Structure 1
Amino acid sequence: MNVFEALESEVRSYCRGWPAVFDRAQGSWIHDEDGRAYLDFFAGAGTLNYGHNHPVLKEALLHYLQRDGITHSLDMFSAAKRSFLERFHEVVLHPRGLDYKVQFPGPAGTNAVEAALKLARKVTGRETVISFTNAFHGMTLGALAVTGNSMKRSGAGVPLDHHVAMPFDGFLDGRTPDFLWLESVLDDSGSGIDVPAAVIVETVQGEGGVNVASAEWLRGLSELCKRRGMLLIVDDVQMGCGRTGAFFSFEEAGIVPDIVTLSKSIGGYGLPLALTLFRPELDVWEPGEHNGTFRGPNPSFVTATAALDHFWADGTMEKQTLAKGRLVHDRLTSLQEELDAARPGLGIDVRGRGLVWGLAFDDEEIADEICSAAFDNGLLLETSGPRSEVVKLLPPLTVSAEELHRGLDILADAARSAVDRRREPVAA
């Protein structure tokens, strides 16, 4: 550990909660260099939807490297890119009736968001972008401007302008009709809010606390954007690639965004890859107007294509994910009822869709305690939410039912211990 403490920046974070040196991983398991195994309900923050080192994806990658397939090619044509574009169209876009152009903006989700924001402003000639409370869209300056977390925003060092935050679904607990505030300020020329270029939204706010937007709310937002001439950007960086069941998280709502951002698990194997998708008529870029050195690394194209063929060509992945999600929901709901009975007043809430779930507490210290105890017992969990008050579950989509039950058992034991420490002492 001394090497990391001496040489690596203080900005490191995950390693502080998981003080182990990890060495190898396979499937839903990650092992430290001492040989201890941990069940991974973190999955690279959603980058490893298909688990660690999936054998089918690994075989495709090794074959490509062993034959000296090209690794780096900027945005030149390559056989690997062609194969990915063809299969992405055939397996994902065409069956869903989605007519999107594909841009490779850079290797990370924040790059996809930056391209989306820049394109929306270029197309409309307007600057303001509407985002939502507790949103997270990335750490580069444009993406950070539409992010809600005050701690992350404070690290920018410069003003984060040209955005306005509006209440996410449920933020006001139903005390006002959906979009009342947004509609009102758009109607009032004295509101001080310029006509927006776009609205950017996550259908499920992962980093924001596993806040789930209803299908009705998303449909209302889509209709509002159409009426007001604003582009709708759905950030599917963490919730796309099957995390909520369907390949895109917005499918359940029956909406078609103008622009979509994808990253994390689109590469399949944990390799960096990001996409910005948009309607063809929005493709107003001049050649080279938005570029970068790592726009679609070819090994990522290889594993991404293998993932599409293996997991999405036959339509079974969505059904399996939804079934596993119901298992998690039932276990967490049962745990919630048990904890509420043992210690009323903790404000416990179960939230989620597909295979992203959160167990929220009014007392934010409980979530930290649960994740720490879970790590000690061989389970990786992270917290989320503005106060780190939510225990967030993000297991691989390929996790088995047995592994799910094992991880949920560890979580339940950790939660019982944390709650038990808060019981009132019995009077003598």
Structure 2
Amino acid sequence: MSMIEPLREVLTGRVVTPDNSDWESVRTAWNLAVDQQPLAVVLAADASDVEHTVAFAAAHDLKVAAQAGGHGATKALDGTILVRTSELDDIWIDSHAGIARVGAGVRWGALQSALDGTGLTGLPGSCGGISVVGYCTGGGLSWFSRPYGSGAGSLRAVELVDASGSRRWIDDSTDPELMWAIRGGGGNFGVITSVEVELFAAPEITGGRLMFPIDQAEAVLTAYGAATATAADHVTLWAYVTHFPDVPFVPEPVRGKSFCMVDAIAPYEPAALEAALAPIRAAGTPVGDTVRRHEPGSLGEIAPAPGDPASLLIGSTTFDELSPEVLGMLLKHLGQPSPIFQVQIRHLRASDDIGHTGVAAADPVAQYCALLWAPVPLPEYEEPAREALLALKDAMAPWHAGELPPSSLGAGDSLQDSISEPDLVRLREIKQNVDPLGVLVGGYPVI
């Protein structure tokens, strides 16, 4: 009998092991480049299933990790009991108090849709398929980080199952050290079953995407850099260079073509957004313009991302000025089709209000970050993609301007690539206090 077999008897949900027919689909991460190999997967039906799983692991010298749907996977999860929390999908909103309480399986798209008509928003990123919990505990760079801070800073309270299998609510008044660690420390300190997040004013959301032919990239990105230098604090501008592959699943209008794109959004005062976009529009000839009014639930339409699992290598870097030298270096590596499918430049800094304190709750110190994606549809693509990412990061090293939250890390990175040594020391001390036996494993472990 498998060592996991007794766990089946106490759960409402399922335990899936390698001898089950659906093992491959259940264990697989969203990023297929990460071949995560857990010992077993628990499809938790409720928070009690999480309690039973952690208590079982603690009693049998096993380890537990958590994922809502497969994002944030790393090889650190190998050999763990992987708890899938997708069924913990309750959403409760108090629009008068400006708070939402959501289960660990709730994705940003679902929460944002529930906020339609309230005049409020959470702090989502561009992808509505990411879980609120995973995003916020990893830092969370939002469409609205400039006026309102990071996703981590919006965390008010969490319900978690600790290393002994006990479930409890904590906040800054009951356990400020643990709350600090959770805001950026990921799943290293407990399996979170629910969170309470702050909501923010968004009475008139305006946003969308401008698309330009790739041969206009230099002029458009130069105008983009100038616009970010003067944009109002509540205006967010992200720019892209994207090379769409010539494959059947890519829509015909963009298949095999390359573009420079600018995404823009503001939660109020749309005139300020239009003022920022005017010189960008004038810098080229847009072949697409989707800027319009939005409800919170339609934000996922601005920068649509693949919903199905894909194999990707991911990288990031930072800089403080989109100078001609920086722009020239980026376009040298990305101005023509390459193994790097897309570089996304995010304008970051605005608000000094970090919300609640945490290891990754503050706004990044850099003015800009560049997020890099390289698809690996076949094994032979992996090495060229990895070399292209490393070459661009090395070329950008002279302008590096500080680290990004853990949510921007690639599968091969570690917390040391994102968090300062003093903060890592503090995280290790907290980890030792709350989980001395190392029962709980995050995607980026505290070591």
TM-score, scaled to structure 2: 0.24
Structure holding more helix per residue: 1
* Higher relative contact order (CA closer than 8 Å, sequence separation 6+): 1
TM-score, scaled to structure 1: 0.24
